[in-house]
């Protein structure tokens, strides 16, 4: 009944933290193991070109995964990101083909804006339509893809139609790090800091953790949800520009099926599908792991059909690990919960 | 010392939900440094008042004044800004966030670049807990805290928001004796620091121990506000229940027959323990008590929806297999659950499907359900219950609450049960339908069905039941026969007070 300084709190806390962090640690270990095994069997895996490919692929997936994590943390989901990526890539590609002088910064901004518009449509539908995000974004997935197909009408934008400066941006590096990776890192760090250290970020966690309590705590739940979808959409739009810069060839099918990779990266990265916990760092690590698996299987000359089975297995493993850790943590928290003797 | 002028005045507020007036022209004042009890039966409108103060519901009429100026509490954020903190019976914390974050949510201390200063946040939580005299680790997640600790976190939240009005809605319902003591110590120190406390409880000993003033509500109306010292417990109970019994409840006199249900030593930790009673054919036995006293859990355990730890249930001399609604149904037991939308009906299916659902096997031929037999049976039963509907093929969800309840009854009555268990049979349905449901229960009893009824409505209990069993905190505390059962005696037993009238 007396308030004391609670000696030993820090020690107990750090061990608990370790359990909670185990998730990110697990991904890093899996990644290290995968890289080691693949490199031993085929040293080409560690060549500059191979690593560059993995990093570029990760950059695009990670930008999407960061946006998705923001949405999933609020106990929602955004399935439309692949289609938004496609629309943004096609919009920017068309603009650049017609105006070769357009600076890259503008291209990035335009892509993000296209995505932000799609994202706010998702957010508004979820907020005011009172429909689960799963259904809303499944709908917009097809609508946005349909719009892109209708607009493209079968045409394709080829690399030789795009300005050299833009393609250059897709390959150029700064201090040996590709611009695409730098952009992804910037997105990751900024989002990570906002989620961890700003009130807005904590409110997103709060509403995912308990929507009921969030309302009672006076959090503007609807506005925050729209905001989360807007961020996810904008990042998907940005990823579309990165996609265009990396591949150079854009048709209406760009990014088809990406949404499932993104959700997989987020789940493997330890963001709880019921909201309230997980970090964008984990989501980005998940993206890196999935991309590396794809490359490693190619290098190991394993039939790429196995890749899907392996990704599926990883998701199940991730969810199983979450359950296990959650159960153990809950038991421990219960045990040290009561201080009334 | 209580302040001279009220901190918060509730002036003539009213609130209706649809046709039901939950609160009608209620007024009372709250003074700083004073604990104010709000008491009334289930459904008297206490929770609605709490939700209006919390900014969850808006009064249809009337005003809430803070320091003499009217305030609009449209959202929970408004209430928070006005310095009103509400602690619910089930605390509303964020399980994934730390205790310190839960306390600081919305007004976290900020450091450089407006980032959250975590160290300051933790320190603040530590200081608050020190002030409350409790030791909860600020950096642990809220998940896994006991209800008592969660309430303390809620109180710390109220303190950190400098709340001047703290509303506690039945905070002690889920607490043990020691935890209640500690909560009271905290509440007293809050009060002594000048906060106005609103305390809702069904336990009079807590009210007399903590509060200076008591407001009594009945049927959504304000009955009285007095100093606790100037009003006896007997008087409070009388004011809470003082209602006239209409001739609404036409229970026919029946001589009880053989024992149909016999329950012995039924226990389920920690919800209820050692429940024993019998129900005879032709008898209506009511299970009364406050919400949360374990009534519904007992009947669900008898029916087998909920598991049980010990004891036996016999129907017509045969022991029922625990945890098996199927066995209970086979033995002739029917349960009309409390929440008909969730447990009693399949809202998307047609009326006839719902009525015939438990008997779909008996009505089918060679494993196929034929529309004809289903329809015939459904028509017969809905007619007996005078159900109003458009077509039998309509979805049940389109019916009014009262008619839905009739469909639930039809569904179970068509099985010709020996024992009918009804949980809150008339909740949320209008007076006319209520009377029909009562008439029906009475005529069923006259036909020799044993009826076990859970009800929070005292007039219904007193009017319908041949015997009243009263539960309090998971135990059977009284058995009153029709002659002895009065509103006062049942309420006294339900609240754990001696009858001293």
Same-domain check for residues B231 and B82: yes
Determine, for residues A334 and B134 on separate chains, whether the beta-carbon distance falls below 8 Å. Answer: no
State residue A247 phi and psi, 5-degree precision: -95, -25
Q: Are residues B87 and B44 in the same domain?
A: yes
B427 and B302 within one domain = yes
CA dist., res. A244 & res. A255, Å (int)? 10
Interior angle at CA B342, CA B339 and CA B345, nearest 5: 95
Asked if residue B87 is part of any domain, the answer here is yes
Task: Give the chain B residue whose CA is nearest to the CA of A334.
Answer: B144
Domain tally for chain A? 1
| pLDDT at residue B345, rounded to an integer | 77
- Does B434 lie in the same domain as B288? yes
The rounded distance, in Å, linking the Cα atoms of B227 and B211 is 9
- pTM (2 d.p.): 0.73
- List the single residue in A198, A214, A218 with the smallest CB-CB distance to B114: A198
> Taking each helix axis from N to C terminus, what angle separates A48-73 and A280-299, rounded to the nearest 10 degrees?
140
pLDDT over threshold 90, residue A316: no
Q: A283 lies in a domain?
A: yes
Among B94, B107, B131, the strongest candidate for a mutation testing the A interface, having the largest count of A CBs within 10 A, is: B94
Closest partner CB to B143 (pick from A217, A220, A333): A333
Among A193, A209, A215, whose Cβ lies nearest the Cβ of B95? A209
> Which chain B residues are within 8 Å of A278, Cβ to Cβ?
none
Question: Per 3-state DSSP, what percentage of chain A is helix, strand, and coil (rounded to 5)?
Answer: 75, 0, 20
CB contact under 8 A, A334 and B144: yes
Whether residues B105 and A2 touch (CB distance < 8 A) is answered with no
B127 domain residue, yes or no: no
Decide if B212 is inside a domain: yes
Residue A167 maps to a domain:
yes
Nearest CA in chain B to A277: B96
Q: Which of B78, B135, B147 would you mutate first to test chain A, the one with the most A CBs within 10 A?
A: B135
Residue B243 pLDDT: 53
In a domain, A201, yes or no: yes
End-to-end CA distance of chain A: 9
Give a yes or no: residue A6 inside a domain.
no
Find out whether B200 and B217 touch, Cβ atoms under 8 Å: no
**Which strand (E) or helix (H) includes residue B197?**
strand B196-200
How many Å apart are CA B327 and CA B321, to the nearest integer?
Answer: 6
Rounded CA-CA distance B166/B190 in Å is 9
Option in B86, B115, B182 nearest A1 (CB): B182
Same domain (yes/no): B151, B273? no
Question: Taking CB atoms and an 8 Å limit, are A3 and B179 in contact across chains?
Answer: no
Do residues B480 and B494 lie in contact, with contact meaning Cβ atoms separated by under 8 Å?
no
Arithmetic mean of pLDDT, B264-287: 88
Residue A145 counted as domain residue: yes
**Which residue has tokens 């991309």?**
A291
Tell me, what CATH number does A188's domain have?
1.10.3470
Of B242, B273, B301, the residue that ends a domain is: B242
Query: For A96-109, what is each residue's pLDDT tens digit?
Result: 989 888 888 999 99
Specify if B500 maps to a domain. Answer: no
Tokens describing residue A319: 């969810």
Per-residue pLDDT, A3: 37
Tokens in use for B55? 């900014």
- What is the C-alpha to C-alpha distance for residues B16 and B25, in angstroms, rounded to an integer? 11
Is A75 part of any domain? yes
pLDDT of res. B213: 92
Q: Is residue A4 part of a domain?
A: no
As for how many domains chain B has, the answer is: 2
Residue A89's pLDDT band (boundaries 50, 70, 90)? very high
Contact A282, A269 (CB under 8 A): yes
Containing structural domain, residue B460: 258-332+417-495
Find how far residue B349's CA is from the centre of its chain.
Answer: 29
Note whether residue A13 is domain-resident: no
The residue from B215, B242, B269 where one domain ends is: B242
**Which backbone phi and psi does B462 adopt, to 5 degrees?**
-70, -35
- Residue of A198, A206, A330 lying closest to B143 (CB–CB): A330
- Residues of chain B contacting residue A19, judged by C-beta atoms under 8 Å apart: none
Judgement on whether residues B265 and B156 belong to the same structural domain of the protein: no
Encoded tokens for B434? 């209520």
DSSP secondary structure of A96-164:
HHH-TT--HHHHHHHHHHHHHHHHHHHHHHHHHH---HHHHHHHHHHHHHHHHHHHHTT--B-GGGS-H
In a domain, B410, yes or no: no
Considering the domain architecture, whether residues B234 and B164 belong to the same structural domain is answered as yes
Angle in degrees, 0-180, between the axes of helices A9-41 and A280-299, rounded to the nearest 10: 20
Q: Does A213 touch chain B (CB under 8 A)?
A: yes
In a domain, B69, yes or no: yes
Q: What is the CATH number of the domain that holds B86?
A: 3.40.50.300
Q: What's the pLDDT tens digit per position in B279-334?
A: 998 889 999 887 778 888 888 888 888 888 888 888 888 888 888 888 888 888 88
Residue B433 located in a structural domain: yes
d(CA A75, CA A208): 5
Looking at the fold, whether B182 and B323 belong to one and the same domain comes out as: no
- Residue that terminates a domain, selected from B200, B218, B242: B242
Half-sphere exposure of A218 (CA within 13 A, CB side): 23
Q: Do B452 and B419 contact (CB within 8 A), yes or no? A: yes
CB contact under 8 A, B97 and A202: yes
B133 DSSP assignment: T
**What's the whole-number mean pLDDT along residues A36-61?**
89
Taking 50 as the threshold, does the pLDDT of residue B461 lie above it? yes
For the question of an ipTM over 0.85, the answer is no
**B355 falls within a domain:** no
Same domain, yes or no, for B203 and B262? no
Mean pLDDT of chain A: 85
CA distance A333 to chain B (A): 5
Is residue B256 pLDDT above 90, yes or no?
no
Q: Is the pLDDT of residue A76 over 90?
A: yes
The domain containing residue A322 runs over which residues?
19-340
- CA-nearest residue to B73 within chain A is A218
Same domain, B226 and B150: yes
Q: Nearest by CB to A1, from B75, B88, B133: name it.
A: B133
């Amino acid at each position: 009944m007396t308030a004391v300084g609670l000696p030993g709190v820090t020690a107990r806390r750090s061990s608990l933290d370790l359990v909670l962090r185990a998730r990110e640690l697990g991904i890093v270990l899996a990644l290290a193991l995968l890289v080691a095994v693949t490199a031993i069997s085929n040293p080409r895996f560690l060549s500059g070109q191979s690593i560059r490919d993995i990093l570029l692929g990760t950059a695009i997936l990670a930008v999407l995964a960061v946006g998705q994590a923001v949405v999933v943390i609020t106990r929602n989901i955004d399935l439309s990101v692949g289609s938004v990526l496609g629309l943004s890539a096609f919009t920017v590609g068309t603009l650049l083909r017609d105006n070769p002088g357009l600076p890259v910064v503008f291209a990035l901004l335009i892509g993000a804006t296209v995505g932000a518009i799609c994202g706010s449509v998702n957010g508004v539908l979820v907020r005011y339509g009172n429909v689960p995000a799963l259904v809303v974004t499944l709908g917009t997935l097809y609508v946005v893809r349909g719009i892109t197909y209708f607009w493209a009408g079968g045409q394709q934008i080829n690399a030789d139609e795009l300005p050299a400066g833009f393609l250059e941006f897709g390959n150029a590096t700064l201090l040996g790090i590709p611009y695409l990776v730098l952009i992804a890192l910037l997105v990751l760090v900024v989002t990570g800091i906002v989620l961890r250290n700003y009130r807005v970020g904590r409110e997103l966690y709060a509403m995912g953790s308990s929507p009921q309590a969030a309302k009672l705590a006076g959090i503007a739940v609807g506005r925050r949800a729209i905001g989360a979808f807007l961020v996810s959409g904008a990042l998907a739009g940005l990823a579309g520009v990165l996609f265009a810069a990396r591949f150079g060839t854009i048709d209406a099918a760009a990014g088809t099926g990406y949404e499932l990779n993104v959700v997989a990266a987020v789940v493997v990265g330890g963001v709880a599908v019921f909201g309230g916990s997980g970090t964008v760092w984990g989501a980005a690590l998940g993206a890196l792991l999935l991309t590396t698996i794809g490359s490693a299987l190619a290098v190991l000359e394993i039939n790429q059909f196995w890749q899907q089975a392996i990704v599926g297995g990883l998701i199940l493993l991730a969810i199983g690990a979450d359950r296990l850790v959650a159960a153990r943590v809950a038991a421990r928290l219960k045990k040290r919960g009561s201080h009334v003797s | 010392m209580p302040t001279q002028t009220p901190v918060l005045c509730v002036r003539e507020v009213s609130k209706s939900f649809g046709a039901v007036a939950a609160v009608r022209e209620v007024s009372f004042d709250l003074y700083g440094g004073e604990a104010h009890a709000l008491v009334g039966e289930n459904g008297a409108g206490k929770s609605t008042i709490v939700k209006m103060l919390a900014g969850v519901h808006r009064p249809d009429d009337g005003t809430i004044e803070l320091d003499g100026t009217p305030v609009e509490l449209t959202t929970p954020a408004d209430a928070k800004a006005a310095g009103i903190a509400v602690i619910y019976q089930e605390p509303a914390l964020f399980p994934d966030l730390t205790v310190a974050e839960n306390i600081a949510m919305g007004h976290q201390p900020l450091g450089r670049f407006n980032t959250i200063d975590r160290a300051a946040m933790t320190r603040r939580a530590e200081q608050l807990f020190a002030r409350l005299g409790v030791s909860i680790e600020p950096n642990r997640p809220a998940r896994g805290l006991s209800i008592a600790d969660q309430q303390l976190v809620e109180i710390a939240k109220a303190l950190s928001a400098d709340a001047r009005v703290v509303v506690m809605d039945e905070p002690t319902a889920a607490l043990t004796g020691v935890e209640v003591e500690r909560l009271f110590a905290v509440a007293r120190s809050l009060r002594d620091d000048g906060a106005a406390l609103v305390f809702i409880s069904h336990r009079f000993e807590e009210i007399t121990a903590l509060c200076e003033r008591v407001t009594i509500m009945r049927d959504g109306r304000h009955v009285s506000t007095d100093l606790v010292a100037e009003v006896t417990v007997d008087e409070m109970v009388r004011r809470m229940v003082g209602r006239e019994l209409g001739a609404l409840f036409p229970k026919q006199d029946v001589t009880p027959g053989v024992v149909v249900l016999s329950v012995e030593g039924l226990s389920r930790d920690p919800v209820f323990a050692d429940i024993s009673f019998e129900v005879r054919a032709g008898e209506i036995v009511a299970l009364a008590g406050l919400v949360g006293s374990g009534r519904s859990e007992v009947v669900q355990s008898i029916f087998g929806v909920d598991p049980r730890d010990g004891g036996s249930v016999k129907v017509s001399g045969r022991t029922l297999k625990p945890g098996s609604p199927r066995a209970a149904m086979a033995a002739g037991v029917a349960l009309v659950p409390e929440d008909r939308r969730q447990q009693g009906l399949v809202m998307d299916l047609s009326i006839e499907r719902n009525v015939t659902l438990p008997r779909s096997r008996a009505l089918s031929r060679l494993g196929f359900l034929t529309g004809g037999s289903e329809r015939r049976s459904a028509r017969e039963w809905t007619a007996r219950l005078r159900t109003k509907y458009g077509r039998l093929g309509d979805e049940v969800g389109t019916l009014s609450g009262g008619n839905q309840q009739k469909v639930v009854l039809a569904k179970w009555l068509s099985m010709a049960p020996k024992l009918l268990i009804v949980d809150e049979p008339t909740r949320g349905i209008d007076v006319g339908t209520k009377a029909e449901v009562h008439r029906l229960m009475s005529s069923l009893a006259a036909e020799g069905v044993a009826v076990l009824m859970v009800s929070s409505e005292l007039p219904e209990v007193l009017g319908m039941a041949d015997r009243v069993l009263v539960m309090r905190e998971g135990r059977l505390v009284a058995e009153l026969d029709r002659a002895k059962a009065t509103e006062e005696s049942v309420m006294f037993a339900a609240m754990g007070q001696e009858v001293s009238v």
